[in-house]
Each structure stands twice: as C-alpha cells, then as structure tokens.
Chains A and B, each alone.
Chain A
C-alpha cells in the first residue's frame, strides 16, 4: 500500500475543518428550517429533525409574498446585470481600442471616482430618484447601478492584453470595429465577462440598504428586503425564519453550483476577488 505522508494528512484535516466551519451555518439553517418549533428550541439540539416538515416553508410563502419578492429580485438582477455588462463592454472597448484626444485623462478621472465611498452617494442618488419620480418602483433599484467603473477598469485591462495583430487581422478580414468587438474580443474575454457578470448579479441580488431606502410598498420589495420584513412577521419563530432565509439563499447556491468552474477560473485569471 502506498504510504500516506503526515503532511498530506495534516493538510487535508485543516482543509476539512475549514470547510466544515464555512458550510455549517448553511447546513444548520437548512436543518432548522425542517424542524418543528418545539424541536428547534429543544436542548440539547437534535442533529436531524425527528419529524421533517415543510410546514415552515408553507407558512413563509403564506405570510409573505416570497414569490413576488423572488420575481422582483430576478427582474432587478437580470435587467441590471445585462445593462451593466453591455455598458462595461462598450466602455472598455472605447477606452482600450479607440483613439481620441483626452482618452486616458477621461479614464483616469473615471478611475479616481472609485475613491468616493458608496455611502456618500446614497443621499444624492436618493434625491435624484425622488426628483425623477421613480420612488417606490423597480426602476429605482436598477438605474443607479447600470454602470461600473471597477468592472470597466478590469475589462479594459484585459482588452489591452489582447495583441493588436488580432485587431488588424480582423479589420483586414473585413470586420468593422463593432463586428470585431462582438465576434473576437467578447468571446476571448468570456471568462472575465462571466466573472464580472456573476459578481454583479450577486451584488444586485443581495442589495439591501438601497432597496429599503427607495422601495416602500410590498409590491416592489426584493428578497433581502422581504426577508427583513418577514423577520417582523415571524417574530421569534426561528424555524420559520430559517425557512425564509433558505428561500432567499437557495437560488444563489444553485447558480453557484452551475457556474462554479467559470467563477473559479475567472477569479484566478482576472485577479478579481468577490
């Protein structure tokens, strides 16, 4: 039998402990959401629900319109991410390939804007939204976040690393700038784009503070806000809270499982952190 080195065992043990610490809260949430109230509060806690029940989920869906929240979150995330991606791609192309006077100066100014903290923008954004009469609409959740200097910066740097000869080659092959962008550059940048898209989608999905500020009615709540409101309705019934939380988290986990490979390669290639 092959001898297993001590170092290997130590490494795997450490990794396993780390993994368990990371994943435990999620597992506990899922387990708790399947317990009854009595079991959830019992001491000592049980590992596996004696009598697994989906009652808490039924309650959650009955009390709060989670499906509506889900739909709102989905609309905001999809629309916001799509517009951001198109903006980012066009902007990155402009600042990496097209030549016009003052290009680098304009880009430096844009990059320096990243230093302004998000919290400082909240009040101005809020007044703008109110003045545009967009208060309490889904558009209010989308419009302020349809461009990202950070993502533009990352993508521009990636575009700059693509050799000029590919551009000239495509031009000689008869492609216009527009065709070159979509037929050559975007497919090559796909790993970076997937990463940017996923990070952006996650930010949209989890956005909480802004939606509390600009959305009032139940009609336009997104999932995080809805969950926040649900905590009031659920009171101290932790098993119900856990069911609500699971409803919010599960779609994201499914998305991650499907796109795990792209996220990992994208993050390691693009040098991005989530």
Chain B
C-alpha cells in the first residue's frame, strides 16, 4: 500500500510556563512507495517516533493529511487503520502464550478459532518461532519476543507495518541478525514497512529509502545509496556514514580551498563564490594517499587496523581527518605524507547554512 503524507505537523503544549507550543514534526510531506522498507532516521528528539505514532493513529495530528492509497485516514482511530505496530519494548500481552498473543488480533476480528490458529502457526513459521507457541513471553529471549511481536503485527495482514526502534533492546550480534531477519520477513510478506531508528548503520543496511529528520524537519528523503552518495546538506552528509565524513572548514577561492590553520590550498572541483566560508566534506574512502598530483601535505597522527586496511588518522593544518589506506602502505605515527581527494565522495557546503553547492 502506498502512503502519502501531506504537510503533516504535530505541535505539543510545552511544559514550561511560556505556554508556547513545541513543534515535533514540521509540515512534512513524503510519499512511501508500496512494498518498500522505509527508515525514519534521525537523532533522538527529531520527531521520528511522533511521525510513526501519527501514522498508526495513536497520536492525533495537529494539521496535515495522511493518505493510505489515496484514502484519507487522518481522523481514523488506530483500530480502524489496519496497521501493525511493533513497539520498542514489544508490548506482548504477559498473560497470554505466544500462540494466544499472535491470535489476539484475529480473535478481536472474530475469526473462527481453527482458522486463526492455522493463520497464526503459518506466520509463526515465517518468523521462526513455531517451537515456542506454548510459552509465555517472559520465558523468551529478547530476539524471540521481537519475532512474536512482529508475527502479531503481521497476522492480520496489515496494509502497513510500523516498527518503533525494533532493534534497540537487543545485543550487538543479535541486532545484526535481526535486522536481516526483518529485511527477509518484509520481503516475504511484501508489506510496506516503516521503521524508526537513530542508528544510521541500521537504516542504511536494510532500508530501500531513508527519511532523515532533524528537529521535526525533513532533511532528505531518498533511496539509501542516494542519500549516501548525494547528501543534500551538511547535516545529512555528517549523519550518514561510518566513520563520519571528514570536514575541512575554510574559505573558498578559485584555486582551491584555503583551509583554516593551513597554508596550502586544497584543490576542489566544485564551484562556489569567491570568498565564501565553506565546509569541504570528504568521505574517508575518498582520501587517496601518495598521490603526486593535486596533493596536500599531511601528518599521520595515529593508525588503526581495520582488517584488510588501515584507518589513518592524519592532520592537515589544524584539521583532524581520517582515511583508508592499504595494509602494506608504509606509514607510522608522525610520518609526513601527501594526500589527495577523489571527486566522488567529496562535497562542498556553505558553512553558515549547511546547504550544498
């Protein structure tokens, strides 16, 4: 099912005495394609959970519209929206067994008992919990509880599946495993899925599209590769990518960027206005070592092994930067080296507005 959001706004009464309203989501518009996995990404307090709660109908909207396949659902209560929601704490009914938990939405719909058990078992097989049907939620591990929560959300064949920070309660290894599981389950069921996360790695690893938010305002909504390769502003470039993107502050000149605390000009193919304060942002993998042409002098600070290659921490002037080099590249702490930057993976932003040139 296609989800269309138009000028969605949510304001909360603030707790302080001024009585001013706090805007959690600010005139946000987007369209989620049917059958895709969409990540709502952003730092905490950016309004992503508020968005999710408005999609599910738990929170009423202040203004704007939500359409499910061109049907206006803005004022529908949660029980009539046909969505499935998996909470961060899973919210399984503690007094019901796994099977009863999964059957609950069907029981409410008055589906005959034999049929609902059949459907529940089918879903349980899909999420690999068919061996635990007789257990109570407290007798399951975190990962298993989450599978039950997903099964319960999927069993009524929702048009939209919503996941609120689904992986944050799991340990590191299980998190990687479960995010692939979520991807598989989403593919198998083909249901349009929206999940909330503050972890950019989680978002980039499994989603088709990423909607990045900051303080209630949408920063960028594009395909996952696209948001990495083509960030719309400095915040997006900084938020997506691990290790984070290198940032060199300086003044733009036609011959290159005059970086702060550095005498050399850094060559840059992107055009800006002469004398603008800019931020030259370079992905660590776009740093080239020992390049004769277009190179800048740098000093190696530190080296970290990351398996097949080194992550080199180096300085250009006062700026601390990171880049990847081959493991057989001969450097040590304190070496003077020359570095260059590839065009792909290097971006130029306005320092004041964060806008991209």
Chain A positions within 8 Å of B, measured between CB atoms, are: 163, 165-166, 168-176, 179, 183-184, 187-188, 190
Q: Is there contact, CB below 8 Å, between B95 and A175? A: no
Complex: how many Å from CA A143 to CA B108? 35
CB within 8 Å: A-B pair count: 62
Contacts of B57 in A (CB 8 A): 171-172
Q: Is there contact, CB below 8 Å, between A169 and B85? A: yes
- Cβ of B152 within 8 Å of any chain A Cβ, yes or no, is yes
Q: Is there contact, CB below 8 Å, between A173 and B87? A: no
If over half of A's interface residues share one DSSP class (helix, strand or loop), that class is named, otherwise mixed; here it is: helix
From the candidates B78, B84, B94, B152, name the one contacting A171 in the complex (CB within 8 A).
Answer: B78
Known contacts A168-B58, A168-B85, A172-B85; is-contact A183 B91 (Cβ 8 Å): no
Complex: how many Å from CA A168 to CA B79? 9
Known contacts A169-B85, A188-B94; is-contact A174 B58 (Cβ 8 Å): no
Least CB distance, A250 to chain B, in whole angstroms = 34
Known contacts A172-B83, A174-B156; is-contact A179 B108 (Cβ 8 Å): yes
Complex: how many Å from CA A174 to CA B56? 12
Top 7 A-B pairs ranked by shortest CB distance? Answer: A165-B91, A173-B105, A169-B91, A174-B108, A165-B87, A171-B78, A187-B95
Q: Which of B70-109 contact A (CB under 8 A)?
A: 77-79, 81, 83-85, 87-89, 91, 93-96, 104-105, 107-109
Max count, chain B CB within 10 A of own CB: residue among A173, A174, A188, A190: A173
Complex: how many Å from CA A187 to CA B94? 9
Q: Is there contact, CB below 8 Å, between A183 and B104? A: yes
7 contacts between A and B (CB under 8 A): A168-B78, A169-B87, A169-B93, A173-B79, A183-B107, A184-B95, A187-B95
Contacts of A168 in B (CB 8 A): 56, 58, 78, 85, 87, 91
Q: Is there contact, CB below 8 Å, between A171 and B105? A: no
Contacts of B81 in A (CB 8 A): 172
Q: Mark B131-161, 1 if CB is under 8 A from A, else 0.
A: 0000000000000000000001100100000
Least CB distance, B315 to chain A, in whole angstroms = 48
Contacts of B156 in A (CB 8 A): 173-174
Q: Is there contact, CB below 8 Å, between A173 and B56? A: no
Nearest A-chain residue to B89, judged by Cβ: A165
Complex: how many Å from CA A166 to CA B85? 11
Range, interface on chain B: 20 to 34
Complex: how many Å from CA A19 to CA B142? 45
Q: Is there contact, CB below 8 Å, between A176 and B95? A: no
Contacts of B96 in A (CB 8 A): 187
Known contacts A165-B87, A179-B108, A183-B104; is-contact A172 B78 (Cβ 8 Å): yes
Q: Is there contact, CB below 8 Å, between A176 and B79? A: yes
Known contacts A169-B85, A179-B108, A183-B104; is-contact A174 B79 (Cβ 8 Å): yes
Max count, chain A CB within 10 A of own CB: residue among B79, B83, B94: B79
Known contacts A173-B104, A179-B108; is-contact A163 B89 (Cβ 8 Å): yes
From the candidates B77, B89, B94, B152, name the one contacting A173 in the complex (CB within 8 A).
Answer: B152
Least CB distance, B87 to chain A, in whole angstroms = 4
Contacts of A176 in B (CB 8 A): 79
Least CB distance, B140 to chain A, in whole angstroms = 16
From the candidates B79, B94, B95, B109, name the one contacting A172 in the complex (CB within 8 A).
Answer: B79
Q: Is there contact, CB below 8 Å, between A171 and B108? A: no
Nearest B-chain residue to A186, judged by Cβ: B95
Complex: how many Å from CA A183 to CA B85? 19
Least CB distance, A164 to chain B, in whole angstroms = 9
Complex: how many Å from CA A234 to CA B58? 67
Complex: how many Å from CA A183 to CA B87? 19
Nearest A-chain residue to B155, judged by Cβ: A173
Q: Is there contact, CB below 8 Å, between A175 and B108? A: yes
From the candidates A172, A179, A184, A190, name the one contacting B93 in the complex (CB within 8 A).
Answer: A184
Nearest B-chain residue to A187, judged by Cβ: B95
Q: Is there contact, CB below 8 Å, between A174 and B105? A: yes
Q: Mark B291-324, 1 if CB is under 8 A from A, else 0.
A: 0000000000000000000000000000000000
Known: A170-B104, A175-B104. 9 other contacts (CB 8 A): A165-B87, A168-B91, A169-B93, A171-B57, A172-B57, A172-B78, A174-B79, A188-B94, A190-B95
Q: Is there contact, CB below 8 Å, between A171 and B58? A: yes
Complex: how many Å from CA A187 to CA B104? 14
Least CB distance, B51 to chain A, in whole angstroms = 15
Contacts of A187 in B (CB 8 A): 95-96
Contacts of A172 in B (CB 8 A): 56-58, 78-79, 81, 83-85, 153
Contacts of B87 in A (CB 8 A): 165, 168-169
Q: Is there contact, CB below 8 Å, between B95 and A188? A: yes
Contacts of A163 in B (CB 8 A): 89, 91
Least CB distance, A97 to chain B, in whole angstroms = 14
Complex: how many Å from CA A188 to CA B101? 13
Complex: how many Å from CA A170 to CA B149? 12
Contacts of B77 in A (CB 8 A): 171
Q: Which of B41-60 contact A (CB under 8 A)?
A: 56-58
Contacts of A166 in B (CB 8 A): 91, 93
Least CB distance, A76 to chain B, in whole angstroms = 31
Complex: how many Å from CA A183 to CA B103? 12
Contacts of A183 in B (CB 8 A): 104, 107-108
Contacts of A179 in B (CB 8 A): 108
Complex: how many Å from CA A190 to CA B96? 13
